[in-house]
Amino acid sequence: MKTTLHAPERLRNIGVAAHIDAGKTTLTERILFYAGAIHICGDVHDGNTATDFSAIEKAKGITISSAAAPCFWTPPAVAGLTRPYADMPHRLNVIDTPGHVDFTAEVERSLRVLDGAIAVFCGVGGVQPQSETVWRQMDRYRVPRLAFINKMDRAGADFLRVTNELREQLGANAWPILLPLGAEGELRGQLDVIEQCALISRPDSKVGYAVEAVPEAWRETLATARLDLINALASLDDEIATLWLEEKPISVEVLKAVLRRQTIAGRIVPVIGGSAYRHVGVHALVDAVVDYLPSPLDVQRLSETSVPLAALAFKVVRHPQAGRLVYVRLYEGTLQKGQVLVNPRTGKTDRCGRLLRVFADRRDELESIRAGDICAVAGLREFSTGDTLCLAGHELSLEPPQFPEPVVSMAIEPAHSTDQARLSSALARLSDEDPTFRVKTHEETGQCLISGMGELHLEIIREKLLLEHGLETVAGAPQIACRETITDAAEADHLLKKQNGGTGMYARVKLSVSPLDRGQGLVIENAVVGGTIPAVYMNAVHRGIQEAATTGALAGSPVCDVQVRIVDGAAHAKDSNEQAFRQAAMEAFREAVERASPVLLEPVMRVECAVSDEFQGEILGDLNRRRARILGLEHEQAQAFVTAEVPLVEMFGYAGAIRSLSRGRASYSMVPSAYEIVPSALMSKLLPK
């Protein structure tokens, strides 16, 4: 593959993003094939595509990690067509992103560094729930985009219906520029709205199509589409508006220039119909990428302060041969092999190792890269996802990608106890690569807990441990970290008296316990009068109470929200010691708690759900079945926002449930709120078996 550096205006950093099964990977494969980057066109169902190259992706038939695929594209000069960039070589950095919601972080970090995107939609399924998520991500990073309505060869495909869904469900100012010529089994090519001609599909030809006159049956449709496009642009652009008002002809060159300007500004979304699998419309789509999507010079995202070097690390992967690779997008300056780089977040420095142009799982070495480009850097140990690379004396911090918090957890342990150290090391590597994957040890249960974006996410993590690290694991639901408290006041008077010959053990502790409000913890008060417990032993009494409170009588959980008053005691001049008073205090506390009607407390989460109005009833009904207490319900446009408090034990599996109930159109977040008494009827659910 060539590694010649092009000027920034000849560079296009684009992502291919959509809901699952829209055809992103197939489209990317076709683009690479026609660009000459690959010589055989693979298919997802055969497991031989260039961007889904991992064993897990091939086995499951889905994209799990975003994959970079650079290629070169030269828009051809075609008789009868106006091509502003004809015969000008362009380099495309194409990133194929996952469609499954569990891997939305891959889309998030890719869109943060890309200049444009192709949003892919199924001509049959139209706008799907994950389409909305991806669209919002593009909006968040202000990414200009084209819409490609794919699978127009499928039964039930409807280009105009999906275009209307883009407008109504996504709020997009979407207008066709390339209509599909026919549909389903009759799909023959495309109709060029701007050029007013037909592009008949010729997959074996150099340009992928032949230019022909518009069939009589389509002429009125095509003329109306051009008029609609001009009206849409006239409301956005003064140049078109002036020509329109003066009733002057609008040339193809002017129309394309204005369309490019407004697309880059994010005010309009050109829509293209075709079929990647059938090779229909791929050439024209890539020409549109060059014509209408921005170069790095068109979307300046830095401050006005000039710096010699600024790059953002947006992805970390580990390659079997190359080791740890940090993917970076360079915004300013030139990054050269061997440069000393500063991480402003940590203040540490690192030397830039090998610069690699990565094509899926292949690598080409570079000496340097210029602003606007994307590459992988080997040898960086001090940089992680979201860090800025800069030079000493010129530190700045670029905005990192924003990642959602994990919503699903499970306990994990190695199948063989001898693999514990290897498992810890492997999990640390996986969390380094994936910012939405977290690992922690539960403070109370000692379990290793892994957290991610969904059940599939954690399933993939376990498969990676097995395939990439040779580690077989055993997984299960994490234990709930409950608490215990009391509901009545009680007293206990414990006398510890042991005599085994010689020095004995003697201590008497009398104390009372009473309940406190939630969140008060354990409060110990010294109410001893007359020195019946010598001051020298009072610390031992406190320690004994605190140690006893770590293990309750019901489930062995910590005891909290209890007021303890030490009211009396007795000591022996010879046999009393700290150990005796500590043990006496422990037993007195346990006896008092058992007499004070102990109850189990369960963690309750504050849950916030966002759902479209049509699924509000299903979500509320499900929350009520989960013992939720609804705190608020607000409406904004067609969205409902539900706030509730729900016991944590009832939230396991909720990520899958909420998607199923809302057809994927709902999202939620939850944070710890409080501990509340477990109903007696449900006590057995949380007590140890």
| 515: β partners | 562
pLDDT score of 232: 95
pLDDT score of 602: 87
> At 110, phi and psi to the nearest 5?
-70, -45
Of 81 and 681, more confident: 81
| 194: β partners | none
pLDDT score of 545: 96
Q: What is the mean pLDDT of residues 123-136?
A: 83
Of 538 and 441, more confident: 538
Residue 115 has pLDDT above 90, yes or no: yes
Quick: pLDDT tens for 666-683. 877 776 788 899 988 787
Q: What is the mean pLDDT of residues 586-595?
A: 96
* CA dihedral (605, 606, 607, 613) positive or negative: positive
Quick: pLDDT tens for 220-277. 999 999 999 999 999 999 999 999 888 899 999 999 999 999 999 999 999 999 999 9
Sequence-ordered list of residues with C-beta below 8 angstroms from that of 3, at least 6 positions apart, any chain: 357, 364, 365, 366
Q: How far apart are CA 270 and CA 262, in angstroms?
A: 10
pLDDT score of 417: 84
Of 612 and 63, more confident: 612
The CB-side HSE value for 570 (13 A sphere, CA atoms) comes to 9
pLDDT score of 4: 41
Residue 312 has pLDDT above 90, yes or no: yes
Quick: pLDDT tens for 566-577. 999 999 988 899
Residue 478 has pLDDT above 80, yes or no: no
Residue 384 has pLDDT above 70, yes or no: yes
Report DSSP state, residue 417.
G
346: three-class secondary structure by DSSP? coil
Residue 579 has pLDDT above 70, yes or no: yes
Residue 103 has pLDDT above 50, yes or no: yes
- If you search the block for the tokens 């985009």, which residue do you land on? 145
pLDDT score of 322: 76
pLDDT score of 299: 83
Burial code of 131-168, b = ≥16 C-beta within 10 A, e = fewer? Answer: bbbbbebbeebebbbbbbbbbbbbeebbbeebbebbee
Q: How far apart are CA 663 and CA 147, in angstroms?
A: 23
pLDDT score of 476: 79
Q: How far apart are CA 16 and CA 11, in angstroms?
A: 16
Angle of helix 24-35 relative to helix 282-292, nearest 10 degrees? 80
| Percent of the chain predicted with pLDDT > 90 | 50
Closest alpha carbon to 201 in 275, 281, 286:
281
Question: Confidence band (pLDDT; 50, 70, 90) for 534?
Answer: very high
Angle at 592 between CA 586 and CA 598, to 5 degrees: 110
Question: Can you give the three-state secondary structure of 597-630, one letter per residue?
Answer: CEEEEEEEEEEEEEEEHHHHHHHHHHHHHCCCEE
Q: How far apart are CA 252 and CA 243, in angstroms?
A: 13
Question: Confidence band (pLDDT; 50, 70, 90) for 3?
Answer: very low
Q: What is the mean pLDDT of residues 455-481?
A: 83
Of 55 and 5, more confident: 55
Q: What is the mean pLDDT of residues 30-36?
A: 90
Kindly tell me the burial class for residue 56, based on how many C-beta atoms sit within 10 Å of its own C-beta (0-12, 13-18, 19 or more).
middle
Sequence-ordered list of residues with C-beta below 8 angstroms from that of 248, at least 6 positions apart, any chain: none
Closest alpha carbon to 85 in 281, 291, 283:
291
**β-pair type (362-366, 67-73):** unpaired
Q: How far apart are CA 142 and CA 219, in angstroms?
A: 36
409: three-class secondary structure by DSSP? strand
User: Both tokens of residue 432?
Assistant: 């380094």
Angstrom distances, CA of residue 298 to CA of 11, 20, 82, 301, 604? 11, 30, 22, 10, 49
Mean pLDDT lowest among 57-71, 449-463, 579-593, 634-648: 57-71
Torsion of CA 367, 372, 376, 380, to 10 degrees: 80
Question: Confidence band (pLDDT; 50, 70, 90) for 441?
Answer: confident
Of 183 and 102, more confident: 183
Return the beta strands (E) in 285-322 as ranges: 309-319
pLDDT score of 257: 95
Q: What is the mean pLDDT of residues 625-644?
A: 86
Residue 166 has pLDDT above 90, yes or no: yes
Sequence-ordered list of residues with C-beta below 8 angstroms from that of 482, at least 6 positions apart, any chain: 555, 557, 600, 601, 602, 603, 675, 678, 686
Q: What is the mean pLDDT of residues 16-35?
A: 88
pLDDT score of 1: 38
pLDDT score of 129: 66
Q: How far apart are CA 642 and CA 621, in angstroms?
A: 12
pLDDT score of 303: 44
Q: Are 626 and 647 spatial neighbours (Cβ–Cβ below 8 Å)?
A: yes
Q: What is the mean pLDDT of residues 323-346?
A: 92
The CB-side HSE value for 62 (13 A sphere, CA atoms) comes to 15
Q: In the sheet where 209-212 sits, what is the strand order?
A: 67-73, 90-96, 11-18, 116-122, 145-150, 269-273, 174-181, 189-192, 197-201, 209-212
Q: What is the mean pLDDT of residues 537-555?
A: 92
Of 476 and 369, more confident: 369
User: Both tokens of residue 591?
Assistant: 């006896």
pLDDT score of 243: 92
Q: Are 427 and 439 spatial neighbours (Cβ–Cβ below 8 Å)?
A: yes
Q: How far apart are CA 438 and CA 418, in angstroms?
A: 23
Q: What is the mean pLDDT of residues 416-429?
A: 91
Work out the mean pLDDT of the chain and round it to a whole number.
87
pLDDT score of 559: 94
pLDDT score of 455: 73
